[in-house]
Amino acid sequence: MSRYIFVTGGVVSSLGKGVSAASLGALLQSRGYSVHVRKFDPYLNVDPGTMSPLQHGEVYVTNDGFETDLDLGYYERFLGVHLSRNDSCSGGRIYWEVLNAERRGDYLGATVQMIPHVSNKIKEHISIPTNTDFVICEIGGTVGDIEQKIFLESIRQYANDVGRRNVMFVHLALAPYLEQSGELKTKPTQMSVRRLLENGIQADMLFVRSPRMLTNEERAKIGMFCNLPAKNVITSINVDNIYKIPLVYDEQDVFNIMAQHFGLPEAAGDMSKFKKIEHYLNNDLPTCTIGVVGKYFDVADAYKSLNEALFHAAVQNNVHLKIKKIDAEKFTPEECSDVDGILIPGGFGARGVEGKISAVKYARENNVPFMGICLGMQTAVIEFMRNVVGDENANSTEFAKNCTPVINIMNDCDSENMGGTLRLGAYPCVIKSGTLAEQIYGTTNISERHRHRYEVDIKYKDELEKNGMIISGMSPDGKLPEIVEIPSHKFFIAGQFHPEFQSNPYDGHPMFNAFVSAAKRK
Ligand code: GLN
C-alpha cells in the first residue's frame, strides 16, 4: 500500500503549494522512493479545460489528453512522473459523478448526502492505485473555503481508514513581515492550523512562507500553538527560482521528519541535480534574449510551461535567459532588432495573428533563429504560402472564410465534451531522416502532446516543399503534418504540438535546447 501525504494551504492562496508538494516528492525520490502526485481542486468546474487562461493560467495537457491545471506541469517537470486524468480531480467532477450515480439509481433509494456519498467519491479518487511508495495529494484552495470543507473531511476520514501513520498532513501557511515594527507575525499561521483542527486534522509538519528564515524561538512558538515540535516547523523562504526549494527543505531536514512520521529509516539524499541548477543560477553567464510574440502577457502564468522550457534550455546551454514579451497585436520589426531568437507560441482566435505572421517574415528574411509552436507553426506555413509561394490569400479557416485554406479542420475527433473537437494529448510523429528535426531529436519516432483544432492541409505539401519549406515530421498515417522546417535558413523549425509540456529542468527538451543553442550562436 502507498503512503499518503496531503498538502493543504492556509491564510492566502498562491503560497506555492504545488512547488512545496513537488519538492517533497523530490526529497523522497532522492532517497530512492517512488512517488506519484494527485491534485484535488474544490471548484465546481468539471475540469479546468474550459477555464479562461486569463483567470487560471495556462491549460496543461497530460499524455492521455486531459486538460488540467498548471500545477500538474510542476509535478511532471520536477518529478518526471506521468500524470493522467486520474490525477486531476475537481469538486465539479466529484459532484457530477455522484449526481449521475444518483440518476442511474446506484444508491438504491438511499438519501444522497455529503457524507458518506460525496466523501466516499473523493476517497475513491484518492485511492486509485498508483504502484508507488508515496502518493502526494495537493488539496487546492485555502483552508476556510466553503468548497474545500468536504475535501478536508474526506482526507480526515482517509487517515482514519488507512491508519494515521500511513498518512501525513503537511500545511503551508504564511508569516507576514511587518516593516513598521520589524516583526515577523506568526498569528496567521496559528489561526490557519487551528482552522484545520476544527476539521479534525492535526498538521504533522508546517511550511511557513516567509521573507526570512524563522528563528528557533519563532519555530518553537508556532510549534507550541500548533502541537508540533519546533523542528517540524519549516521555513518556506522566498526564493528567486523554484528549483531552489528542494534544497531549502533538504537543509531543514524535511526528509527525516517524513521518515520519522512514517517509521522509515533516516537517510541522506542525492540532491546534485538541484545543486547543478543552483550553481547555474549563481554563475555569471552571457545572456540570450528570446522574443516571444504572443498575446496572453497580462496573466503571469499563461505561458508557464513555455517559460519553463526556455529556462530549462538556457540551463542546458549555459546562458542566462531574457524573455522579451512582444505583443503580437502591436508588432513592428524594430522590436526584434535586439533578440537572438524568435518564438511564436500557441494561441486561439484571430487577435494578433497578422502580427505573428509579420514576425515569422522577419525571422525568415533575416535568418533569425525561429521556433513555432502550434499556432506558431500554422502562422509559419501561412507566411510561407503568402510571401514565398506567392498566394497572398493563404490563411487558416479559423481566421478567414474565403481564403486559400492552407490551415483547416482535418480531424474528425468526436465532440462529446465541449472543446471535444480539439486534438488533445500525446500523438506519435514520424520524422523524415536527414532533416533538422532528426538531428534535434536524434531519432525518427517521437511522441508529443497536442492541443489544437486546425491542421496544415497535406495537399499543399508539394507546393511548400518545391519552394523550400519541408514537412519533416508527419503523423504515422501520413495525413497530418507535424513539423515544418526551412533547410536554407540558419534555424527555422515549427511543430504542430506543444513540446513545452515535456521539458524538464534536468535535461531540457531537444527542440528548445537546439533553438536556444542556435540563438546563443547568433
Ligand atoms: N488555434 C489553433 C488551433 O486550434 C492553434 C491552437 C494552439 O496554438 N494551441 O489549431
- pLDDT tens figures, 196-207: 999 999 999 999
pLDDT score of 415: 39
Q: Are 358 and 368 in contact (CB under 8 A)?
A: no
In the DSSP assignment, the letter for residue 15 is S
Express each pLDDT in 91-102 by its tens digit. Answer: 999 999 999 999
Pocket test for ligand 1, best of 351, 453, 496 (most atoms within 8 A of CB): 453
- Does 500 participate in catalysis according to the annotation? yes
pLDDT score of 106: 95
Q: Are 423 and 413 in contact (CB under 8 A)?
A: yes
Minimal-distance CA residue to ligand 1 atom 1: 348
Please, which residues bridge with residue 37 across strands? 136
Quick one: pLDDT band at residue 78, thresholds 50, 70, 90? very high
Average pLDDT, the chain: 94
Quick one: pLDDT band at residue 21, thresholds 50, 70, 90? very high
CA of 398 to the centre of ligand 1 (A): 9
pLDDT score of 487: 98
165's CB contacts (< 8 A; 6+ apart) are 261, 262, 263
CA of 308 to the centre of ligand 1 (A): 20
Express each pLDDT in 163-221 by its tens digit. Answer: 999 999 999 999 999 989 888 999 999 999 999 999 999 999 999 999 999 999 999 99
Cell 484545520, residue located: 196
- What would be the CATH architecture of the domain defined by 284-521? 3-Layer(aba) Sandwich (3.40)
Query: Does the pLDDT value for residue 418 go beyond 70?
Result: no
Using CA atoms, how far apart are residues 487 and 500, in angstroms rounded to an integer? Answer: 23
Minimal-distance CA residue to ligand 1 atom 8: 346
- Rounded average pLDDT over 346-371: 96
pLDDT score of 462: 97
Q: Are 377 and 347 in contact (CB under 8 A)?
A: no
Half-sphere exposure of 137 (CA within 13 A, CB side): 30
479's CB contacts (< 8 A; 6+ apart) are 410, 458
221's CB contacts (< 8 A; 6+ apart) are 186
pLDDT score of 411: 60
Query: Does the pLDDT value for residue 414 go beyond 80?
Result: no
Q: Which atom of ligand 1 is nearest to the CA of 407?
A: 10
Using CA atoms, how far apart are residues 289 and 407, in angstroms rounded to an integer? Answer: 30
Pocket test for ligand 1, best of 410, 415, 452 (most atoms within 8 A of CB): 452
- With a 6 Å cutoff on the Cβ, whether 454 touches ligand 1 is yes
Q: Are 192 and 143 in contact (CB under 8 A)?
A: yes
The CATH class, in words, for 3-263 is alpha beta
- The grid cell for 87 is 490525477
- With a 6 Å cutoff on the Cβ, whether 451 touches ligand 1 is yes
pTM summary value: 0.92
Cell 515530421, residue located: 473
- Does 498 participate in catalysis according to the annotation? yes
Minimal-distance CA residue to ligand 1 atom 6: 452
Express each pLDDT in 129-160 by its tens digit. Answer: 999 999 999 999 999 999 999 999 999 999 99
Pocket test for ligand 1, best of 375, 377, 450 (most atoms within 8 A of CB): 375
pLDDT score of 52: 72
Quick one: pLDDT band at residue 11, thresholds 50, 70, 90? confident
CA of 376 to the centre of ligand 1 (A): 9
